[in-house]
Amino acid sequence: MIRRGVALIAAALVLSAGVIGVQLASGGADFVPQRPADPCQDRGRPAPTDLEGLAEAVVLTGIDEAACKLGVTRERLLLALPSREDRAELAQELGTDEEGLAQATKDGLLAGIDRLEKAGQLPKASALLPSIADQLGISTGLVGLIPDGLVDNLLPTADLLRRSIEKVDVNAVLADFDDRKALESTLRDALFKAAIEEAKARIAGALPDSLQGLIG
């Protein structure tokens, strides 16, 4: 019985060695762990087609920009930002403080807009208007009557996003987070909300008093 057990173990070892040999012959020895992507390089994300997708693109690209400016990987920054303890550790490592990291994140978002604009990935406001008309309190029937040129001149996309980011309190967003996915979605939602408020204020400001009721 003992000999049979030894024979089975030996057979298993031989089979394992054979599998490893096949993997090595197929180039398995060349395997190396995938390196984190360079945050300073464009990742070639698809162009957004609505405001929510645009806000997400700004956040994703902005975190890349922040990581690039700080000299760390995107993954390192994303893992550190949601945790106060990890933020403090990273800040000390980089010779700054938590407010410095928050400011770097905000600056990264602004730089992300520049990167998207340079890549031609900022849709015009007229293309975004139908998807956000409800949030703006504009009826879909009215949307079709507004000339695209008027919307684009009133709401230049890059300028609208920059003003919206200035309204976002990144320090407040970073508080009490322990999930990096929640951090990204919360930044996206904060930017989306600020963009809606900015767009609504601009449209309302451009309308005569008799038409103010058209904006919810």
Quick one: average pLDDT of 195-206?
85
Helix (H, G, I), strand (E, B), or coil: what is residue 21? Answer: helix
Residue 41 region, left (φ>0) first, then alpha (ψ -120 to 50), else beta?
beta
Q: Name the one residue in this structure whose structure tokens are 């970073």.
A: 174
Cα separation of 158 and 178, whole Å? Answer: 31
* 31: confidence class by pLDDT, cuts 50, 70, 90: very low
Cβ neighbours, 10 Å, residue 198: 20
Query: Residue ranges of the domains in the chain?
Result: 51-214
169, containing H or E segment: none
Q: What is the pLDDT of residue 15?
A: 34
Query: Is it the case that residue 1 has pLDDT exceeding 50?
Result: no
Q: What is the pLDDT of residue 127?
A: 92
* 22: confidence class by pLDDT, cuts 50, 70, 90: very low
| Mean residue pLDDT across the chain | 80
- Please check whether residue 109 is in contact with residue 75, taking contact to mean a CB–CB distance below 8 angstroms: no
Please give the angle made by the CA atoms of 122, 126 and 157, to the nearest 5 degrees.
Answer: 35
Cα separation of 22 and 1, whole Å? Answer: 32
Q: What is the pLDDT of residue 193?
A: 94
* 210: confidence class by pLDDT, cuts 50, 70, 90: low
* 4: confidence class by pLDDT, cuts 50, 70, 90: very low
Cα separation of 111 and 103, whole Å? Answer: 12
Query: Is it the case that residue 26 has pLDDT exceeding 70?
Result: no
Query: Is it the case that residue 52 has pLDDT exceeding 80?
Result: yes
pLDDT (tens digit per residue) in 82-141: 888 899 999 999 999 989 999 999 999 999 999 999 999 999 999 998 888 888 888 877
Task: Please tell me which of 15-19, 46-50, 164-168, 204-208 the model is most confident about, judged by mean pLDDT.
Answer: 164-168
- In the chain, which residue ranges form alpha helices assigned H by DSSP? 2-25, 51-70, 74-80, 84-94, 98-118, 125-136, 140-143, 148-154, 157-167, 170-174, 180-206
Q: What is the pLDDT of residue 63?
A: 95
Nearest CA-CA partner of 103 in 70, 76, 73: 70
Least confident of 4-13, 65-74, 97-106, 193-202: 4-13
28, containing H or E segment: none
* 207: confidence class by pLDDT, cuts 50, 70, 90: low
